[in-house]
Amino acid sequence: MDHRSSLSIRKNGRMERRERADAARNRRAILRAAEELLRRHPPEQVSVERVAAAAGVGKGTVFHRFGSRTGLMRALMSERARELEEAVTQGPPPLGPGAAPSERLVAFLEAVAELAARNGNLMAAHEHAVLTSKSEQPREANPIYVFWHRHASGLIAEARPDADAELIAHMLLGTLHMEPVASLLRAGGHERLAASFADLVRGLLKP
Amino acid sequence: MDHRSSLSIRKNGRMERRERADAARNRRAILRAAEELLRRHPPEQVSVERVAAAAGVGKGTVFHRFGSRTGLMRALMSERARELEEAVTQGPPPLGPGAAPSERLVAFLEAVAELAARNGNLMAAHEHAVLTSKSEQPREANPIYVFWHRHASGLIAEARPDADAELIAHMLLGTLHMEPVASLLRAGGHERLAASFADLVRGLLKP
């Protein structure tokens, strides 16, 4: 192997790694900027231009990374949901394995309420899209919802094998999406919702 | 006073009473026919013509009594809600006064689930109207919902003064309106929903 071409390969490798690192950093910066803007503004005011400016990147970079504004919104929701899924399956208790089912479910619903509040405007925008478009899948077929529902119903079934875990999990998770609870979340009231989830869950699952 | 005119007044009185009795009977027949049709068909297939035919009256009579198809739907929902309100305020326990708050709330949510199942297509049609029309008031401002919420939150507060009765009542009642619970109700699964309401309520309110 020629010495110069091997050096050139190493150089190209370094450049590619740097490009990948830049891309990952841009991606994170864009997602953080979009989340921050959505916390403070209704979704129709959060344009790609505005996200790009807040993230310190060009508008083209946002389209290159996420395809479209809808793609960005989906990516943001997926990113948050993935973090929660990791915490639930591998993180420390009470969210992760190792605590009693009732305490795991209380911690999970608290995390879901917090996520819904942080991304309230985003969820509202997503709900609106689902309601007004026939092509969108219903909420209960969404992979994020499927995971949330399976986790919640599993914990209910573990502590209360006699209860209708499947239905009760739908009932608990459904409260997030409905008025006036959704307005409460958008107004930052997720701790109030988490406290009532805890009352319902501890009552249902206490031995 | 002239004998004949007094007789004529009595005759007119009898005729007016008979007309009022006919009108009330027609009204009941129309409401029963509409309810029966809505139980078996999607609301867009329940036309005024069809209701009139099933009730054995003319189409004009339906319009005369209810103003419009929407007026008929509203009247039907109000009628069912009024019957439930009477049972709650003056009927026998556990729905009416005299039972423990938890048993009254279990009975109330069972009745609400049954009403929602009987009028599921109607509620779906109403929800759709609310979601697609800006002029409709939100569900939580509807007088029926206001009564239901006040009753449920009052019972929760009575048994659990430390709980967030207002929010929990919204959470419980909200489950009726959301997928996949709404589909379950339309498919006749109100007993399954009532059983899960009972599990949640007894857990929350047990001493």
**pLDDT single digits (tens) A153-164:** 999 999 999 999
Shortest Cα distance from B140 to chain A (angstroms)? 7
pLDDT given at position B115: 87
pLDDT given at position B1: 45
Q: For the residues of chain B, what is the DSSP string, one character each?
A: --HHHHHHHHHHHHHHHHHHHHHHHHHHHHHHHHHHHHHHS-GGG--HHHHHHHHTS-HHHHHHHHSSHHHHHHHHHHHHHHHHHHHHHHS-TTTSTTS-HHHHHHHHHHHHHHHHHHTHHHHHHHHHHHHH-SSSPPGGGSHHHHHHHHHHHHHHHHH-TTS-HHHHHHHHHHGGGSTTHHHHHHTT-HHHHHHHHHHHHHHHH--
| Closest listed residue to residue B170, CA positions, set A116, A151, A185 | A185
Distance CA B108, CA B31 (A): 23
Span B48-65, mean pLDDT? Answer: 94
CB contact under 8 A, B199 and A170: no
Shortest Cα distance from B200 to chain A (angstroms)? 6
CA B166 to chain CA centroid, Å, is 22
Choose between A1 and A68: higher pLDDT. Answer: A68
Span A51-77, mean pLDDT? Answer: 91
Cβ-based contacts of B171 with chain A (< 8 Å):
175, 181, 196, 200
pLDDT given at position B14: 77
pLDDT given at position B131: 47
Substitution target from A162, A199, A201, A202 for chain B, most B beta carbons within 10 A: A199
Does position A135 have pLDDT exceeding 50, yes or no?
A: no
Span B70-76, mean pLDDT? Answer: 86
Q: For the residues of A106-174, what is the DSSP string, one character each?
A: HHHHHHHHHHHHHTHHHHHHHHHHHHH-SSSPPGGGSHHHHHHHHHHHHHHHHH-TTS-HHHHHHHHHH
B→A contacts (Cβ < 8 Å), by residue, are 131, 138-140, 160, 163-164, 167-168, 170-171, 174-175, 177-181, 184, 192-193, 195-196, 199-200, 202-206
CB contact under 8 A, A170 and B181: yes
pLDDT given at position B134: 46
CB contact under 8 A, A196 and B160: no
Choose between B47 and A12: higher pLDDT. Answer: B47
pLDDT given at position B205: 95
Span A12-31, mean pLDDT? Answer: 85
pLDDT level of residue B176 (50, 70, 90 thresholds)? confident
Does position B27 have pLDDT exceeding 70, yes or no?
A: yes
pLDDT level of residue A127 (50, 70, 90 thresholds)? low
Q: What are the structural domains, with CATH classification, of chain A?
A: 1-67 (1.10.10.60), 70-207 (1.10.357.10)
CB contact under 8 A, A171 and B181: yes
ipTM: 0.78
Substitution target from A156, A167, A168, A172 for chain B, most B beta carbons within 10 A: A167
